[in-house]
Structure 1
Amino acid sequence: MVSVPDMRRLAWVLALTLALLLLALAGLAHAAVVVSVVTTQAEAPVTAMLAGFRERFAGLGEDLDLEVYSLAADESLVAEQIASIRNRRPQVIFVLGSRALNTIASEVADIPVVFGLVLSEQLLPVNANVTGVVLDFPVATQLAWLQRLLPQARTIGVAYNPAENAARIADAREFARRSGLTLDAVPITSPRELPAALTTLARHADVLWGLSDQMVINTQTARSLLLFSFRNRIPFFGLSAAWVKAGALVALERDYQDIGRQCAELAQQVIAGASPASLPLQTPRKVLYTLNRRTAEQMKIEFPEKVLRAAQEVY
């Protein structure tokens, strides 16, 4: 028979065990989500995306143990950084930028990766542990906004590399057909063919569409594209605010803080057990735009006041 003191002692032990178990479970419930951030940039979009990422986790009451790694240029230092990341045992690696993504994807296959600040799908590595948000808007989104902002433009001119953009040009042709527009698309297979392609486009195009294309749109071609636009008074629909600041008439822009939230939502799905490969790539869900009023005046294009007011920025 168990004595009364023994029963009291047993009850006390059981109560203490239960209390410790509840404390342990509470600790698990509030354990911080461990995320390693890898980037090669220190620009405003990175700051905005990290703010959105943190905001999304905070909104769900989740603590975030987040450490940022600025990827080194020295390969030996990169190896040390990756070792440090592994030692943290992150549940997700949040990667910002193409170089950072390619480096992490080539070295890490066993930790889920969510990326941002990568322009297009063409720049992505093929990894089962990778998902994220590309910056490029879908073709239909780009052309719908072009049509909304420049309703007088009926013929859309574009130069493109078929090896990179045949599928997107097919999508653009379908959009143009449904919308009563004409798409004048000139293929090039070498940068040397770009001047002749622009000469061809100058005959009929009402607007030059800056489709993301590594052969057509790059630092070497930027000046010639903008000069073509000014000399022929054919507005250039650029890729970003930087192009508008340089002289393009208009460009779509992203809400980087909201993209950070999108990336956090993907990370939360991965942490909950979803495979990155099962999560489709996303594009920015918010569309902003910037305008260059000086370019508009030179080309004798008038924007309604409501369009100017709604712009994220007017140069």
Structure 2
Amino acid sequence: MLASLRICARRTSNLIRGLHTKVCIIGSGPGAHSAAIYASRGALEPILVEGNVSNFPPPGGQLTTTIDVENYAGFPDSVGGFELMQLMKQQSEKFGTRILTEEVESVDFTKPPYKLKTEHSDISADSVIVATGAVARRLDFIGADEYWNRGISACATCDGALPMFRDENIVVVGGGDSAMEEALFLTKFAKQVFVVHRRDELRASQIMQKRARWNPKITFILSHVVERAVGDGRRLNSLVLKSTKSGNEESVLETKGLFFAVGHVPATKFLQGSGLDLDNDGYVITLNSQTTTNLPGVFACGDVADRVYRQAITAAGTGCMAALDAERYLESSS
């Protein structure tokens, strides 16, 4: 029995080696599946490499870690993030997208057809769409994982308007422009917003600092870090803060919500040295407000190329753009 299983495993591996496609999509979020739907309906027979199930976030991207999505058009009663990504995946497969649950280990963008290597597959592609997303940085302290999605989030625009945060004290951790933007946004719903920053000065631009400081619903707690999150096992109730100046001094802040605003990390490590232009933070650089990159036939969409909006619906929109750009490239180069 064991021998037969080994034979089957070898056959499966052989079957998925030497694949060729007109367009290979790397990623598994709204951008990737939007691109796949358009590409498959355009008869491009795309291959989508979605990553391993052991990854964080898993296939489906950051949205799979969100319980309720209220701001994606078409779902007036909200939809679970995992459910939404499963629906997108089903739609991709319905139109003929081949999905590989593998991780792209390396790419060769020397010349088309481009080469991509995973643990089990060697893929050649006439064009490539990079849609690997970006992961929000999360701070590590006691209770951070326990109360994730139960009061702790990394996207105020996504979750801030949820009923659980309305008319409550809310905390934003961070000191840059993103933290100021999220704090200002949350004032529309929260009773009071507390900005906690580990330094005694903010990193945000002067204009953003001024806007935040002038808002009567925003209070700054500088030179402090979050030591632990406290709740009843179901929901966050308070945070224990620790001074970065006086050492052991702790204080308790009653709050029902905490939002991380300490940056994002684009998933582009595998692209280092590939010849694809990345900015200083690792985001793919796209040209002329399109999804084209410095390499012919290589496109990028979603959060991997977007450091501003970072929304599911904007990722899906650029996924559509990437598929159309790839289709036009293939037509012009045939």
TM-score (norm 1): 0.35
- Larger radius of gyration, structure 1 or 2? 1
User: Which is richer in strand?
Assistant: 2
**More helix per residue: 1 or 2?**
1
What is the TM-score of this pair, normalised by structure 2? 0.34
